[in-house]
Amino acid sequence: MTLKECWDKACRDGLDDVRRFMRDMKRSGLKRKMRYYKGRSFWTGPAIVTDDLQAVLSATKVKCQWDNMGLEWVVYPCQSIEIAPQLLRD
């Protein structure tokens, strides 16, 4: 999935935190580090890969989570663009 597809899905589904995160990263100059990411617990969406965790967190007010991948951090909003399969069950 491309970042454009992430943006379009977030707009279509009303995912304000995802859109805000993407806008904030673009405004802060971190857009070039953004990519599509599949994280833990069925999370999917835009993420920033960086070695400076605080630079990303201070660039947005959206609640974020992060994973450490060796020497770099993957930072992404708590809101996912996909619904976890366990939430679809009755």
- The tens digit of pLDDT for each residue in 41-90 reads 788 999 999 999 999 999 999 999 999 878 899 999 999 998 644 444 44
Q: Are 35 and 3 in contact (CB under 8 A)?
A: yes
Collapsing DSSP to helix, strand or coil, 59 comes out as: coil
Exposed/middle/buried for 53, CB within 10 Å: 0-12, 13-18, 19+? middle
DSSP H helical ranges for the chain = 3-13, 16-27, 53-57, 85-88
Task: Name the pTM for this structure.
Answer: 0.86
